[in-house]
A and B are shown apart, each in its own frame.
Chain A
Amino acid sequence: MNMKRKTEAEPAISVRNLTKTYAEGAAGVPALRGVDVDVCGGELMLLMGPSGSGKTTLLSIMGCILTATSGSVRVAGREVTGLTEKELPAIRLAHIGFVFQGFNLFPTLTAGENVELMLDLKGVRAGEAKRLARSVLEQVGLGNKYDSYPSDLSGGQKQRVAIARALAGNPQIILADEPTAALDSHTGRNVMELMRRLAHEDGRAVIIVTHDPRMVEFADRVTHIEDGVIGAAAEPLPPVAEGILTHNYGKAAGLNLA
């Protein structure tokens, strides 16, 4: 499967004036207030912010899992706001791959079968799916783990299987929710290295929600969100990221962002 993509001029995901208010009592609780974000293919963007800032809500809306209260979301050039719950799965399947904090692998399926599941959803025939699943697992360095069950894999290996599953759908966009949170720092760095390759070498738009400041070095861009409002985000990365990190975590974090 050739997943190489070119960085495109049009953003893979474009969010404009997005608001999301959760119904709770008469007033409701605003989670996002007028968010604007563009992420292009070939770009790895970190979405950072404190707990309850709206990161996951934004990720869910960009992933067509949650619908916005108002505003616009364009995925691969298509406006998805206003699509019904029956139409959104097809958008997810066609354009978006998810990587979760808890891996979300199917424990009763082998690593290979977990990847095959995505291919089955895409309508790939069983024999071809098996071949492709093996190929994708090899790409993430787990070619020899095809028949292993998740319970027999380390955390890093599980996350690689989850990434392989997301990749099997050949998505333009990869959305990852705290993908390194359950991993030790060495394994987390390996996973982030893999994510960066997916962006830079394959031309995918990779958006990662994380709390972990050590992951900033892998990002092309860091977008900070707090109380549902996007903070500073600019390029080049190091000064901006430093500013964000200083704002959020302070110098005491002792981070070397150079």
Chain B
Amino acid sequence: MPPLARRNLFHDRVRLVVTLTGIVFAVVLIVIELGLFVGFTTTTSGLIDHSNVDLWVTSKHVPYIELGAPFSERKLYQVKAVPGVEEAQKFITRWTQWQCPDGRQESVQIVGIDPDSMLGRPWNVVEGSVEDLKIPDGILVDELYKQKLGVTRVGEVFEINHRRARVVGFTRGIRAFTTSPYIFTSFKNALDYTGMPADQTVYIQVKLAPGADANQVKRAILERVRDVDVVTNHQFSRMTQVYWMFTTGAGVAVLLAAALGLVVGFVVVAQTIYATTMDHLKEFGTLKAMGAPNRYIYKVILTQAALSGVMGYVLGMFVSLFVVRASQSGGAAILLPWQMAIGMFFLTLLMCMGAAIVSINKVTRLDPAIVFKG
């Protein structure tokens, strides 16, 4: 087949630029919105997903990780005694106040762990180590929040809830979904920073023995320990994600923005592909007069749309990757997992092909007698 579609597309450079701009706009808009959604979702459950925990023992009816209610640490020993439990540790997440050097108060989220355990540890530690949390008053802060908290280097001393806190290291890229940064510290320090009684914990993290059945252990814990719920790591992660993304409506807004991007992109692409088709309407009439079946003409239009889609996708992803990279050091994480990149390719093609159908309808109804008009 002579390269009619390709030539038509490249013949009018201005129109091509307009078409590609429309597609790039749509791709970038959708990638950013979906990337924000994925980024937010991942952020909400980050503590759980990186915890290396199999089961979480919580107070009754905890909807998400930030809303755990304290209970007696004696339950820890009851849990440890359950067959199939290899390790169980106390874990705290609570909001409290950080005193900045300039006198400002910032809300922070204390994460209290056992530095000797592999459960619930911070990840991506780029300066200092988790073991440094054994130092009295030691805390780990994420690099993203240095400015917000007024932190510049390891060794600096601050006040959390009127208690001394020394920065012993930094993590990289551990975001909090809320505006309150995570402050990692030892469980003991966490009790002090949050003002909780020494005999209380907020969660018990459970690591199962090799070969142990999670559901069986869960039931056993519920039988032996009163007034608690037990959820798997995956369940707890999902509960937290669903709460933040859907119950609060934050995720719905982002998804709606992504859908809006799709609609805007579709309209822009449909309009430009339609205009291109109209420019070549007489040529399509000639093709029809020559005896071309409709499917031949559809092929030309769809090929134009597909070529536009592929070029728009490549350019759009290039811009998107730039935006995603820039977001890593910003306040909101935009994630672009490879599955989304591949899905976006098909979505772009679908959008362009769908937009071309508007033009195809016009050509289908085209009277080939148009060829005799001037």
Interface residues of A (CB under 8 A from B): 56, 59-60, 63, 65-66, 86, 89-94, 96, 98, 100-102, 104, 106-109, 113-114, 116-118, 120-121, 126, 165, 169, 177
Interface residues of B (CB under 8 A from A): 1-4, 7-8, 10-11, 282-283, 286-294, 296, 368-369, 371-372, 374
A-B contact pairs, 27 of them (CB 8 A): A65-B368, A65-B371, A66-B369, A89-B291, A89-B292, A90-B291, A90-B293, A93-B290, A93-B292, A98-B371, A100-B286, A100-B372, A104-B371, A106-B4, A106-B286, A107-B11, A108-B4, A108-B7, A109-B7, A113-B3, A116-B2, A117-B2, A117-B4, A117-B290, A120-B2, A121-B291, A165-B290
A177: chain B residues at CB < 8 Å are 372
Q: Sorted from nearest, which 7 A-B pairs have the closest CB atoms?
A: A93-B291, A108-B7, A92-B291, A113-B2, A104-B286, A108-B11, A89-B291
A65: chain B residues at CB < 8 Å are 289, 368-369, 371-372
Return the contact of A89 from the options B2, B286, B288, B372 (Cβ within 8 A): B288
A120: chain B residues at CB < 8 Å are 1-2
11 extra interface residue pairs, beta carbon distance < 8 Å, beyond A108-B4, A177-B372: A86-B293, A89-B288, A91-B291, A92-B289, A93-B292, A108-B7, A108-B11, A109-B2, A109-B4, A116-B2, A169-B291
Interface of B is mostly: helix
Within the complex, the shortest CB–CB distance from A37 to chain B, in Å, comes to 18
Q: Which of A63, A66, A117, A120 has its CB near the most chain B CB atoms (within 10 A)?
A: A117
In whole angstroms, what is the CA distance A100 to B371 when docked?
A: 7
Asked if A169 and B369 sit within 8 Å, CB to CB, the answer is no
Within the complex, the shortest CB–CB distance from A124 to chain B, in Å, comes to 11
B291: chain A residues at CB < 8 Å are 89-94, 96, 121, 169
A100: chain B residues at CB < 8 Å are 286, 371-372
Within the complex, the shortest CB–CB distance from B276 to chain A, in Å, comes to 12
A96: chain B residues at CB < 8 Å are 291
Asked if A169 and B290 sit within 8 Å, CB to CB, the answer is yes
B8: chain A residues at CB < 8 Å are 108
In whole angstroms, what is the CA distance A56 to B11 when docked?
A: 32
B7: chain A residues at CB < 8 Å are 106, 108-109
B10: chain A residues at CB < 8 Å are 108
Within the complex, the shortest CB–CB distance from B348 to chain A, in Å, comes to 24
A169: chain B residues at CB < 8 Å are 290-291
A92: chain B residues at CB < 8 Å are 289-291
B372: chain A residues at CB < 8 Å are 56, 59-60, 65, 100-101, 177
B286: chain A residues at CB < 8 Å are 100, 104, 106
Closest-by-CB residue of B relative to A63 is: B289
Within the complex, the shortest CB–CB distance from A87 to chain B, in Å, comes to 10
Q: Which of A59, A91, A104 has its CB near the most chain B CB atoms (within 10 A)?
A: A104
A116: chain B residues at CB < 8 Å are 2
Asked if A89 and B282 sit within 8 Å, CB to CB, the answer is no
Closest-by-CB residue of A relative to B12 is: A108
Asked if A121 and B290 sit within 8 Å, CB to CB, the answer is yes
Within the complex, the shortest CB–CB distance from B345 to chain A, in Å, comes to 27
In whole angstroms, what is the CA distance A238 to B369 when docked?
A: 33
In whole angstroms, what is the CA distance A169 to B372 when docked?
A: 20
Within the complex, the shortest CB–CB distance from B10 to chain A, in Å, comes to 8
Return the contact of B290 from the options A98, A107, A113 (Cβ within 8 A): A98
A109: chain B residues at CB < 8 Å are 2-4, 7
A126: chain B residues at CB < 8 Å are 1
In whole angstroms, what is the CA distance A96 to B368 when docked?
A: 14
In whole angstroms, what is the CA distance A113 to B2 when docked?
A: 6
Within the complex, the shortest CB–CB distance from B288 to chain A, in Å, comes to 7
A66: chain B residues at CB < 8 Å are 369
Closest-by-CB residue of B relative to A112 is: B2
